Amino acid sequence: MRVIAAMSGGVDSAVAAARAVDAGHDVTGIHLALSRTRQGARGCCSAEDARDARRAADVLGIPFYVWDVSAEFSHAVVDDFVAEYSRGRTPNPCLRCNERIKFSAVLDRALALGFDAVCTGHYARIVAGPHGPELHRARDDAKDQSYVLAVLGAEQVAACLFPLGETLKSEVRADAAARGLAVADKPDSHDICFIPDGDTAGFLRERLGDAPGDIIDAESGETLGRHSGAYAFTVGQRRGLGLTVPDEQGQRRYVVAVEADARQVIVGTDSLLGVRTITADSPVWCGTPPGDPAALAVQVRAHGERVGAVVEHDADAITAHLESPLRGVAPGQALVLYDGTRVVGSGTIRATHARAE
Amino acid sequence: MTQARSYLDHAASAPMLPEAREAWLAASEAVGNPSSLHTSGRLARRLVEEARESVAADLGVRPSEVVFTAGGTEADNLAIKGLAWAGADEGRRRILCSPIEHHAVLDPVEWLGGEGFRVEWLPVDSLGRVDVDALEAALDDDVAVCTVMWANNEVGTVQPVERIAAACAAAGVPYHCDAVQALGQLPMDADLPGVTTLALSGHKVGGPVGVGALIAPRDARITPLLHGGGQERDIRSGTLDAPSIAAFAVAVRRACADQVEVAQRLTLLRDDLIDGVLAAVPGAVLNGDPGRDAPGRLPGNAHLSFPGCEGDALLMLLDAAGVECSTGSACTSGVPEPSHVLLALGVPEPVARGSLRFSLGRTSTPEDVDALLDALPGVVQRASRAGSPRFGSR
């Protein structure tokens, strides 16, 4: 196959590209320029990552180009991230990037230019199933990234190559070292790539400004304090509330809801964080849609735990009735459905309920 | 890489001439700093001075007017900043510049704009030619430097250098000319009345990368960029690179000696390329001066837009087919920007983004052009499917 290998400059995507070459594919390396903030006077993105990706491509002996997707990224990922927070939701930008950039804009362009697939260093597996290619969890469960890929439809899954799905992260580093790739010991990236200092609240404050409001007790309705922007709070968060009034039982208080329109941050005890029912919209099926209802497992954040659930769905919504409660489920997060290791599909969480409904 | 490559990017860098390489190797065997006083030092210095005389003879100037630099960018920076700083001492605070200069000119000018100089951009027409009447009107005794290139590196348009130089001379304004692309392609007289300084580069004409020259008369007032040992008339300190300078002189000698013959051959080849592309790709547009009658276009330059395509997609697919070209000036990171030259010519941004420069040189053959014409229709078809100016999305 003719394959576009998206090379971030990290060890995973470099080894993934190397393995695609080993598998006999005709591989072209692409570095996606996602941002123009770290650049010189005329937009030459001089980021070290681009150089690392180029050097990996040199070692592999494959052609290498930079594709500028900064405009699309800024619109579809960064603007969306800010807008979602301003509505009191908690988005996952990596998932949005996979959905709108890597496996959409880039995949579309690759296919139009005569390529057959896009290869990345994601930890997930593509497995041949009875109804076509299926998306599965990686063998290395600790590194599994299937959660952020669950926005891919069947057509996109069919054009993906994930050569790291059967491998442990430690093996990937060893493989990179054996191949002479300089990125073998490069640290993993953890932060949101467009917030390199990790200060998400500061990033949002710059863009959304001051929007002060009240911090309200979920049970008594009493105003406990003030905040300078509800967007800085996420369901399940405990720190940064600045509350001086202790709870009657001396229990810790958590954010249990964010009401963006009323600029209210609702707080309460741990017991209010348990969720038994989740509704989500914009369903995407990674392959054949499940039965209705179906007994599946659900996961609500990257690397989060999975719990069993009975799932109902129609064209516009998914409702998951959980077997045991999940804590800290925020609107905006993705509800991802699994059948064993197979990723069934996903939706965007709109509402949660403490009761089994 | 076993595939035959058709190299159509001579304006970015040309293959080194074998005799330039030999000159470099021979000079590299000698030891000695050209500024040292002993025998070895004098031998090294002799290589440099012979090279200086050779370059001076080829360009019609005196040896003392040749200042060796580490390339075209340094020569441009030295001339523009040096003339501007020296001019400021006399109260000259204006800079006149065309908007289609190479970044080696544009960026120092813009930088000076932030340092207290007033930058005025000269109008250009849709072919990329500077409006000399507007230039004449802008000239005055408060202009520190006027800078207009001899020929444009992207679209190949040749400027009316003689008229610009005459106008600057009449107004008593120093004129800097970036002649990096013109050398070897156009007849060149560096002693043209009114040209104060002229920038040249080695690797565009078959010399090594990292060496060039600024042609500057003895009485030109130029403040140095580099202070140090006082080499090169005290305006360009730094140990002289004898091997590179010797090789540069060989390349300049060949460029000037063969200019007429090379220009004639490349003009025919270029016109075949342009005609072939326009015939093979409906909708393709030639940018710059057509250059059919007068020498209005660099003989080796063909610059075309392919509306509906992105330049970097075209480049990638041509590269895969063994044909090497450029989307504009080379950029270190590889992120393509719409060309400031095309935008200044009034080309709409989406069309500017779908543009390619093919540049021919001494080693170009009809087979190179044939390879391009074979690959291009399929490449354009694919690239137009991928869309423009931005990627499609679901």
Q: Are residues B247 and B285 in the same domain?
A: no
DSSP string, A300-318: -STT---EEEEEEE-SSEE
Q: Are residues A299 and A217 part of one domain? A: no
Task: Assess whether B306 and B359 both reside in one domain.
Answer: yes
| Residue ranges making up the domain that contains A171 | 2-185
Within 8 A by CB and 6+ apart from A178, the residues are none
Q: Is residue A223 located within the same domain as residue A299?
A: no
The reply to whether B1 falls in a domain is no
Does any domain span residue A194?
Answer: no
User: Do A55 and A161 belong to one domain?
Assistant: yes
pLDDT (tens digit, 9 = 90+) per residue, B270-304?
999 999 999 999 999 999 999 887 789 999 999 99
Q: CATH number of the domain that B118 lies in?
A: 3.40.640.10
CB B304 within 8 A of CB B284: yes
Is residue B120 a contact partner of residue B96, using CB atoms and an 8 Å limit?
A: yes
| pLDDT value, residue A49 | 85
- Residue A172 and residue A29 share a domain: yes
A302 lies in the same domain as A320: yes
Nearest C-alpha of chain A: how many angstroms from B115? 16
Q: Based on the domain organization, do A163 and A214 belong to the same domain?
A: no
Of B257, B288, B307, the position where a domain reaches its end is B257
Note if the bond before B389 is cis, omega within 30 degrees. yes
**Do residue B283 and residue B228 come from a single domain?**
no
So what's the pLDDT on residue B23? 98
The verdict on B237 and B344 lying in the same domain is no
Q: Residue A35 above 80 pLDDT?
A: no
Domain that residue B281 falls in: 6-14+259-386
What is the pLDDT at residue A41? 30
Tell whether A200 is covered by a domain.
Answer: no
CATH number, domain of B295, equals 3.90.1150.10
**Among candidate residues B257, B274, B291, the one where a domain is terminated:** B257
Residues B272 and B189 placed together within one structural domain of the fold = no
Residue B110 lies in a domain: yes
Residue A203 falls within a domain, yes or no? no
Query: Is the model's pLDDT at A44 over the cut of 50?
Result: no
- Helix runs in chain A, H state only: 11-22, 48-60, 70-73, 80-86, 93-97, 106-112, 154-157, 169-178, 200-208
Number of other CB atoms surrounding residue B337 within 10 Å: 17
Is residue B159 domain-shared with residue B190, that is, in the same domain?
Answer: yes
Count of CB atoms situated within 10 Å of the CB of A357: 9
Confidence of residue B337 (pLDDT cuts 50, 70, 90): confident
- C-alpha to C-alpha distance for A29 and A8, rounded to whole angstroms: 10
Which CATH number goes with the domain that contains A51?
Answer: 3.40.50.620
> Residue A246 is part of a domain; what is its CATH number?
2.30.30
Query: Strand B143-147 vs strand B175-178: parallel, antiparallel, or unpaired?
Result: parallel
Total domains in chain A come to 3
Q: Which pLDDT score, from 0 to 100, does residue B393 have? A: 42
**Predicted local confidence at residue B335, as pLDDT:** 62
Q: What band does A335 get if pLDDT is binned at 50, 70 and 90?
A: very high
Q: Within a domain: residue A174? A: yes
Which residues of A lie closer than 8 Å to B, measured between beta carbons?
Answer: 28, 31, 33, 36, 39, 41-47, 50, 54, 63, 65-69, 71-72, 76, 100, 104-106, 108-109, 112-114
Give Cα B49 distance to the centre of its chain.
25
Give how many domains chain B has, as a whole number.
Answer: 2
pLDDT-derived band at B330, boundaries 50, 70, 90? low
Domain for residue B394, yes or no?
A: no
Kindly report the number of other CB atoms within 10 A of residue B372's CB atom: 25
Q: What integer is the mean pLDDT of B127-132?
A: 96
Instruction: Work out the average pLDDT over B82-89.
Output: 97
Whether residues A154 and A238 fall in one domain = no
Residues A169 and A32 reside in one and the same domain? yes
Residue B66: inside a domain: yes
Q: What is the pLDDT of residue B263?
A: 96
Task: Over range B39-68, report the average pLDDT.
Answer: 96
Minimal Cα–Cα distance from B383 to chain A, Å? 6
Residue B191 banded pLDDT, cuts 50, 70, 90? confident
ipTM of the complex: 0.84
Phi-psi region of B71 (alpha: psi -120 to 50; beta: other; left: phi over 0): left
A:B CB pairs within 8 Å: 78
Distance from CA of B4 to the nearest CA of A (A): 15
pLDDT, position B334: 56
Q: Closest-CA residue in chain B for A63?
A: B320
**Rounded Cα gap, residues A50 and B333, in angstroms:** 7
Does A46 sit within 8 Å of B316, measured CB to CB? no
Picking from B332, B386, B394, the nearest residue to A104 by CB comes out as B394
pLDDT tens for A249-282 read 777 889 999 999 999 999 998 888 899 999 999 9
The pLDDT of residue A48 is 80
Digit-coded pLDDT (tens) for A61-111: 999 999 988 889 999 999 999 999 999 999 999 999 999 999 998 999 999
Q: Looking at the structure, tell me whether residues A24 and A147 fall in a common domain.
A: yes
The edge-to-edge listing of strands for the beta sheet with A117-119 is A64-68, A26-33, A2-6, A117-119, A160-161
Q: What is the CATH number of the domain that holds A283?
A: 2.40.30.10
Q: Are residues A149 and A232 in the same domain?
A: no
pLDDT at site A68: 87
- Chain A hits for B393, Cβ within 8 Å: 72, 76, 100, 104-105, 108
B154 domain-assigned: yes
Shortest Cα distance from B313 to chain A (angstroms)? Answer: 8
pLDDT of residue A37: 58
The answer to whether the CB atoms of A108 and B335 lie below 8 A apart is: no
Q: Nearest residue of B to residue A2 by CA position?
A: B320
Q: Can you give the pLDDT at residue B394?
A: 42
Angle between helices B39-59 and B242-257 (to 10 degrees): 20
Say if the Cβ atoms of B383 and A113 lie within 8 Å: yes
Do the chains contact at B333 and A50, CB–CB below 8 Å? yes
**Residue at B55 is within a domain:** yes
On whether both B230 and B153 belong to a single domain, the answer is yes
A67 and A97 co-located in one domain: yes
Q: Which residues of B touch A (CB under 8 A)?
A: 103, 107, 110, 312-313, 315-317, 319-320, 331-337, 382-383, 385-387, 390-394
Mean pLDDT of A201-230: 92
Asked if the structure places residue A44 within a domain, the reply is yes
CB contact under 8 A, B394 and A108: yes
Among partner residues A33, A109, A113, which is closest to B335 by beta-carbon distance? A33
Q: Is A195 within a domain?
A: no
- A97/A128 same-domain check: yes
Residue of B nearest to A26 (CA): B320
Residues A344 and B268: their CA atoms lie apart, in Å, by: 62
Q: Tell me which residue in B382, B390, B394 faces A114 most closely, judged by beta carbons.
A: B382
Domain contains B392: no
Residue B388's pLDDT is what? 58
Residue B167 shares a structural domain with residue B223: yes
**pLDDT at res. B319:** 97
Q: Within this chain, do residues B276 and B264 fall inside the same structural domain, yes or no?
A: yes
Residue A86 lies in a domain: yes
**Which among A31, A47, A105 has CB closest to B393?**
A105
Q: What is the pLDDT of residues A185-211, one digit of tens each?
A: 888 777 788 887 888 999 999 999 999
B234, B381: one domain: no
Instruction: Indicate whether B108 and B174 sit together in one domain.
Output: yes
Whether B249 and B264 map to the same domain: the answer is no
From B215, B240, B257, the end of a domain falls on B257
Can you give the pLDDT at residue B336?
65
Query: What residue has token string 């469960």?
Result: A141
Which has the higher per-residue pLDDT, A243 or A164? A164
Mutate to test the interface with B, among A3, A30, A54, A65 (most CBs of B within 10 A): A65
Domain end point (choices A199, A234, A268): A268
Tell me the pairing of strands B212-215 and B197-201: antiparallel
